Amino acid sequence: MPHRLMLLDTASLYFRAFYGVPDTIRRADGTPVNAVRGLLDIIARLTTDYEATHLIACWDDDWRPQWRVDLIPSYKSHRVAEVVAGGPDVEVVPDALDAQIPMIRRVLELAGIAVVGAAEHEADDVVGTYASQAGLPVDVVTGDRDLFQVVSDDRDVRVIYTARGMRNLEVVTDAVIVGKYRVLPEQYADYAILRGDSSDGLPGVAGIGEKTAASLLGEYGTLATLLEAAADSQSGLSAPVRAKLEAATDYLTVAPEVVNVVRDLGLPTLEEAGAQLHPIIGDSRAELERLASEWNLGGSVRRLLEALDRRD
């Protein structure tokens, strides 16, 4: 099987699993296990269907890095449950899901699935770094459009987009992004900056929506070139658009650093991270099978083990 790396936007997937699987599924002490079961089934299915040989569960060591908040204070502010001085803020997470996250980490560890995060960075930055540096074909699994910016036919990087559910997965390539948004993947971050994104607390430029943003990037190529045109009275940029961009100067100055994923983190190599999938044997398999019974994980652990057994 040719090598292929799958990168999971893990939080996106366990949130989807939590809301997609009934929380009536619980272990004996009453703790829900729907997110654990759902995530394991997602991994088993996707690694099989898309023939992944390597897998990294990319983790939010800091889901709202302070350096991004310093630049745009509204960044993800609507998702803050508690502000923590000197550390990552507490995200709004249902108690029933929060209780399952340690179980998720434990099961992934026993299954030999690499979990990689980076201090003061989001999972998106981990994804961006591996997708840019892996040197082999990559599938990024996410329900967030932010990561469309890493898509590249030239480097064989695709997004497996889960927003419409696991029965309606969409493989996002250059052509899909151009067809939907009329911009290239490498323009997607600039496009998001201009039109804004309420889900991340990005205000965008007042008066510039999706169509105008795409049209401007189609003409000028990049946000930087567009802003150069806005600063040049002889550029031919229309006065109304020029005025809108000038009114948003403070935001446009800092937004690229916030919106563009980091692509040069000092992360473990695939070998160092233990990213290659392999059958689970010995004590780890016995412990997984024990937990499957004790935690009421049903057939989810079995299906994951079967998927990994195929890597023998």
**Residue 86 pLDDT:** 79
Q: Which residue has the tokens 């993947």?
A: 185
C-alpha–C-alpha distance, residues 291 and 58, integer Å: 23
Give the residue among 303, 243, 288 at the shortest CA–CA distance from 109: 288
Per-residue confidence (pLDDT) for residue 286, from 0 to 100: 97
Can you tell me the distance from the alpha carbon of 206 to that of 128, in angstroms, rounded to the nearest whole number? 29
d(CA 199, CA 144): 10
Mean pLDDT of 38-62: 97
Residue 295 pLDDT class (50, 70, 90 cuts) = very high
Query: Which tens digits make up the pLDDT trace of 141-152?
Result: 999 999 999 999
Question: What pLDDT is attached to residue 88?
Answer: 84
Q: Are 265 and 255 in contact (CB under 8 A)?
A: no
Report, as an integer, the average pLDDT of 46-68: 97
- pLDDT, one tens digit per residue, over 92-141 is 999 999 999 999 999 999 999 999 999 999 999 999 999 999 999 999 99
Count other C-beta atoms under 10 Å from residue 90's C-beta.
15
pLDDT in the model for residue 210: 96
Predicted confidence (pLDDT) at residue 1 exceeds the cutoff of 80:
no
Q: What is the pLDDT of residue 89?
A: 86
Q: What is the DSSP letter of 28?
A: T
Q: Which amino acid is present at 156?
A: D
CA distance 29 to 62: 30
| Dist CA 69 CA 222 (whole Å) | 24
pLDDT the model gives residue 296? 96
pLDDT in tens, 191-233: 999 999 998 999 999 999 999 999 999 999 999 999 999 999 8
**Residue listed under structure tokens 């607390």:** 201
Q: Is the pLDDT of residue 256 over 80?
A: yes
Which residues have a Cβ under 8 Å from the Cβ of 131 and sit 6 or more positions away? 7, 138, 140, 150, 155, 157, 263
- Containing 58, the helix (H) or strand (E) segment is strand 54-58
pLDDT at 145: 95
What pLDDT shows up at residue 37?
97
Average pLDDT of the chain to the nearest whole number? 96
The reported pTM is: 0.96
- H runs (alpha helix) in the chain: 10-20, 34-49, 66-71, 95-98, 101-110, 123-133, 174-181, 188-195, 210-220, 223-231, 239-247, 249-259, 270-273, 282-294, 300-309
| pLDDT at residue 234 in the model | 87
- Cα distances (Å, whole numbers) of residue 264 to 98, 125, 128, 184, 260: 30, 9, 8, 22, 12
The model's confidence at residue 19, banded by pLDDT at 50, 70 and 90, is very high
**25-43 mean pLDDT:** 96
Percent of the chain with pLDDT over 70: 100
